Chain A
Amino acid sequence: MEFSTQTIVAVAAYAGGGICMGLGAVGAAIGEGYTAAWANLATSRNSELSPDIFKNMLVGQAVAESASIFALVIAILLLFLDVQGAALIKAAALLGAGICMGLGALGSGIGSGFPGGQACFGIARQPAVTSRLTTNMLIGSAVSQTPAIFSMVVALMLIFIDFSAMPFHPGWAALIGAGLSTGLAAIGSGYGGGLAAGASCEGLARQPLTVAPLTTTMLVGQAVSQTPSIFGLLVSFILMFRTPAPSASLAAAAALLAAGLCTGLGGIGPGIGNGQAAAGAVRWVARNMAMGADLMRVMLVGQAVSQSTAIYAMVVSLVLIFVV
């Protein structure tokens, strides 16, 4: 059976759209459930504050929802894109875009739920600092969303950049690899950033006076947690903008696909681990503010070690792209 190029591109666009929204719906729903679960606990602890808790829950859930709204936007773009006259390589680009945004929304959606839930419970513990808790929650969950935003940027680039100058073989593998790299790496960073933000809301409710060192430690910890997704973004850009030599060999395509997979998968663990380290440090800054500087130092040393495997993965990807 022979299909026209337009048919194949449309198939890729629709499959990509389905993958994008299906995966993209998972994370935000879990995160919002976490927020609502803690809002219930908070209300049962201090039912007089239920209007404040309820308001905070809805704001927190709205931020977690944004990851899946990004996925919805990309899915709708993929469904209604005009594919007439597109080159065959467009099929790979559109499938890559769907995979990228779908995977990329997972971690951020779950992660953004943690600060939401902890802020709700914090309001029940320390009603006097309600507005500070909401502010801290918003800062923390906004940073947790960045990996999803990276994924959306890569997905939009894959959809709208004209790749017709790229040879179809092995270009298809480069473009699907580009989607996998940012999408997978975003899972860990989004989740890890959320762990740090949740611990910071919990700490603020325990000891409101520590708000300044808490927010600083949280932001530094989250910034380090984002690095694996930046590695993913870097490898995606290389895969998208470096035109591979035309080659009919399977090995050339496998190397580019594996490069995307490697940095993407390799970023998941370090992203989560860095977030755990940041959460541990933030939690104890709230209990022992005098040790803030030492905790920050230990956190950074621990995160640097935890980061190493993401760096190995990036090195293997770069070898796969440039050396073999």
Chain B
Amino acid sequence: MAIEGADLVKAAAYLGAGISMGLGAIGPGVGEGMVAAKACEAIGANPNEAGLLTRTMLVGQAVSESTGIYSLVIALLLLFVV
């Protein structure tokens, strides 16, 4: 079976998209989980600050989310643009 160049490029782009989003999802998942775990522990220890702690948790998770969004952007670029 002869493989044409354009086909090979498309195949690499699809595989790249899958690997980008797949691997890129690991870090934010673990990191945001750590944030949530410590937020629960902190709220248990100091319930009066629950609002502040929830806000800090969400902001921290949003920052940690960013690399997952970069991966998503690259995956979508690989799928639809390049």
Given A270-B25, A316-B72, also A294-B43 (CB < 8 A): yes
Contacts of B45 in A (CB 8 A): 284, 287-288
> What is the total number of residues of chain A having a CB less than 8 Å from a CB of chain B?
63
A313: interface (CB < 8 Å): yes
A302 interfacial contact with B, CB 8 Å: yes
What are the residues of chain B within 8 A of A316 when measuring CB–CB?
17-18, 21, 72, 75-76, 79
Q: Indicate if the CB atoms of A262 and B44 lie closer than 8 Å.
A: no
Q: Do B40 and A298 touch (CB < 8 A)?
A: yes
Q: Among A67-75, A108-116, A247-255, which stretch is in contact with chain B?
A: A247-255
Which partner residue on chain A sits nearest B68 by CB separation?
A309
Complex CA–CA separation, A315 to B39 (angstroms): 29
Q: Which residues of A contact B11 (CB under 8 A)?
A: 249-251, 253-255
User: Are A324 and B25 also in contact (CB < 8 A) when A281-B40, A316-B17, A316-B18 are?
Assistant: no
Measured CB to CB, the closest approach of chain B to A164, in angstroms, equals: 21
Interface residue from B17, B50, B57, B58 paired with A258 (Cβ < 8 Å): B17
Q: Tell me the count of chain B residues lying within 8 A, CB to CB, of chain A.
A: 55
**Complex interface bits, A226-239 against B, C-beta within 8 A gives 1, otherwise 0:** 00100000000000
CB pair A272–B33 under 8 Å, yes or no, is yes
A193 to chain B, nearest CB (A): 13
Contact, CB under 8 Å: A277 / B22 = no
B8: chain A residues within 8 A (beta carbon): 250
Q: Which listed residue (B7, B33, B54, B61) contacts A251, Cβ 8 A?
A: B7
Which listed residue, B15, B38, B65, touches A309 by the CB 8 Å rule? B65
For the complex, what is the distance from the CA of A295 to the CA of B57, rounded to whole Å?
Answer: 13
Distance (Å) between the CB of B8 and the closest chain A CB? 6
Given A276-B37, A302-B39, A308-B65, check contact A269 B19 (CB 8 Å).
no
In-complex Cβ contact of A302 among B1, B61, B71 (8 A): B61
CA distance A228 to B30 in the complex (A): 13
Distance in angstroms between the alpha carbons of A260 and B19 in the assembled complex: 10
8 Å CB interface, B7-33 against A: 7-8, 10-19, 21-33
Cross-chain contact B25 with A259 (CB below 8 angstroms): no
B47 x A268 contact (CB < 8 A): no
Tell me how far the C-beta of B77 lies from the nearest C-beta in chain A, rounded to whole angstroms: 12
Measured CB to CB, the nearest residue on chain B to A285 is B44
Among B7, B16, B36, B58, which residue has its beta carbon within 8 angstroms of that of A273? Answer: B36
Nearest chain B CB to A226 CB, angstrom units: 14
Verify if A299 is at the interface (C-beta below 8 Å from B): yes
Q: Decide: B22 and A313 in contact? CB cutoff 8 A.
A: yes
- B7 lies within 8 A of A280 (CB): no
- Interface: B3 (CB within 8 A): yes
Residue on A nearest B29 in the bound complex, by CB: A269
Interface residues of B (CB under 8 A from A): 1, 3, 7-8, 10-19, 21-41, 43-45, 47, 50, 53-54, 57-58, 61-62, 65, 68-69, 71-72, 75-76, 79-80
Beyond the given pairs A295-B44, A298-B40, A316-B18, 18 more chain A to chain B contacts, judged by CB atoms under 8 angstroms and listed by A's residue number, are: A254-B10, A258-B14, A258-B17, A258-B19, A262-B17, A265-B19, A266-B24, A268-B29, A270-B25, A271-B29, A276-B33, A277-B36, A291-B43, A308-B68, A309-B29, A309-B65, A313-B25, A316-B17
Q: 25 pairs across A/B with beta carbons < 8 Å?
A: A192-B33, A250-B11, A254-B12, A258-B18, A261-B19, A265-B19, A265-B26, A266-B22, A267-B25, A276-B30, A276-B37, A277-B40, A283-B44, A288-B44, A298-B39, A298-B43, A298-B53, A299-B36, A299-B40, A301-B58, A303-B36, A305-B58, A310-B25, A313-B21, A313-B22
